[in-house]
């Protein structure tokens, strides 16, 4: 399922569901224009497919600002309260730098390698 937000920036959110995790693949820019759309997509995934782990695949995300970061923090807190985990994968150097500068790299679960679904033998 794909959720699209159009406006000054462009964000595509593609949801995938696996036996123990759901994945939201983000493409484009995550800023104030896409913040509400991502929150809605996360709520929809958690309501329809309450797996132990929600993975945010940022490998195709080209930009994020403080509004985008706030959604990640909100999702992390929401999942933690439910005994679930948010995992961030595929972050490009620009996004990793933003997470490091804000200190969120120590707070959020940021995987150093490519998304889990793309590792050898997993699709």
Give me the DSSP letters along 82-111. TT-EEEEE---HHHHHHHHHHTHHHHSEE-
Short-list 11, 109, 15, 115, CA closest to 59: 115
For residue 22 the two structure tokens come to: 């759901």
Q: 40 lies in which domain range?
A: 2-118
Residue 123: inside a domain: no
pLDDT given at position 12: 95
Q: Calculate mean pLDDT across residues 81-96.
A: 94
Over the stretch 10-59, which tens digit does the pLDDT of each residue have? 899 999 999 889 999 999 999 999 999 999 999 999 888 777 899 999 99
The fraction of the chain above a pLDDT of 90, given in percent, is: 72
Question: Is there a contact between 43 and 74 (Cβ–Cβ < 8 Å)?
Answer: no
Short-list 111, 112, 99, 107, CA closest to 79: 107
Q: Calculate mean pLDDT across residues 75-84.
A: 94
pLDDT at 5 over 70: no
Q: Calculate mean pLDDT across residues 71-82.
A: 95
pLDDT given at position 34: 93
How confident is the prediction for the chain on average, in pLDDT? Answer: 86
Global pTM reads 0.82
Question: Could you give the number of structural domains in the chain?
Answer: 1
CATH of the domain at 19: 3.30.750.24
Reduced to 3 states (helix: H, G, I; strand: E, B; else coil), residue 113 is: coil
């Amino acid at each position: 399922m794909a959720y699209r937000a159009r406006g000054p920036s462009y964000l595509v959110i593609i949801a995938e569901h696996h036996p123990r995790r759901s994945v939201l693949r983000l493409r484009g820019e995550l800023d104030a224009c896409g913040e509400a759309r991502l929150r809605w997509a996360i709520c929809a995934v958690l309501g329809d497919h309450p797996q132990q782990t929600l993975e945010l695949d940022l490998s195709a995300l080209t930009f994020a600002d403080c509004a985008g970061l706030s959604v990640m923090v909100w999702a992390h807190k929401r999942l933690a309260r439910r005994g679930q985990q948010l995992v961030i994968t595929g972050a490009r150097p620009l996004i990793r730098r933003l997470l490091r500068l804000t200190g969120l790299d120590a707070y959020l679960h940021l995987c150093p390698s490519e998304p889990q679904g793309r590792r050898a033998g997993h699709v």
